[in-house]
Structure 1
């Protein structure tokens, strides 16, 4: 059986709760609001959205409805690729804040190094937003080491986090090493491989061993790797199952078994993704 620990509070690293709720592919505003409210009242304190998700208003409604002070919530959004010119970054971020019903976000990401993205132009706008108090931290998403190098040339140590796809079949060893050396946090989207964890025999065997679900194993493995996970969930049962991963402590044998999975599979690979993904 698994070793248990309290799930009264989410662990925090560098001011960011290391577990949160993702809201990708959920543009039903009421459903998003209900999911966010349920998650926050369950104990979640990290909520992740994006301009392209089309649900910032629902996220804001859920935050407003929850019995949790705004200052206790770590709220993140992302600027979409056509809006990455300097002036568009600033204007679209202000629009996001209005939709979210908040005066600031704790973290704003460059969603992809694509579209209108230019390291100097884009990131200088993010720096201005931070200086003005509209965003607390600057993040990037789907950046490979070469993109991170360019971003750090502009921002120095102000690159707080890189959000990337990561799960037992996409373990991101090189990026994890780079980010550890550069003191950049990693956040994993699609941490359940879009449901693929149910089809991974190694993960299923570990789940059976501890009498837990496959999603809990994947989320616990990411936490052991020092990676923040933001699994998407809409139903209260799935939100709770993911939450209960915080009580699961994998042993060395479990970690080694997942690390040894030979299959590599990327779930998200759009045409505008980095060339190295081709």
Structure 2
């Protein structure tokens, strides 16, 4: 009888725990749906504004959120925890050229990520698939850095990014460089893994200026810079350039003409040339 008396409350507690877990699962699924809806709206707005998106990716604990904090000055949660970042936090950053971009912090990737888990976090991982640039953050001090990089590439493949797409859109950065010695054999491993990658310390900020310059150059590929003289009667052209291009400098002459130094995508330059051929010289 005593055993039955003890078993009853225990069983009720198990059922209570199960119900609480199920409620939590339902709540998280609703949150993920809302995240997906919000991201879809925001992504459309960014695409219309021609603002490039940079997604921070990497193995769990590579220091993505710490690097995000360093580059944006935002106080984002930074934990040694899988999926500590559920909703990809986004912030606008200004690159050395003056160009605006959106930096997105995403969930950490782990080895042998179950397919159903990838599906569950699809809404947060969509930022990776849609990003203009994938900033792959490596933990320089990890003895398994090569294996971890391979796991990240595998997850990207699961998300539908083949090797060619990864090669075109991926830029590697070696984080935690403050933990390395110059004569460390780990440096040789890193040189073979990602030759020429920027070495930074998100903790101290060392190397981040070089990293931003690398990002700027990578995103600048396929863009054209030009100086364009806009007369007082060319208001529509001036508005178009400010809307579609990156105006780095503008000066007004005594005659009322405006000299604009503009950077824009080659496709936009072609559109501008077709619409205002007399200005696009």
Structure ranking higher in strand proportion: 2
Structure number with larger C-alpha Rg: 2
Q: TM-score, normalised by structure 2?
A: 0.32
Q: TM-score, normalised by structure 1?
A: 0.32
Highest RCO, 1 vs 2 (Cα 8 Å, sep ≥ 6): 1
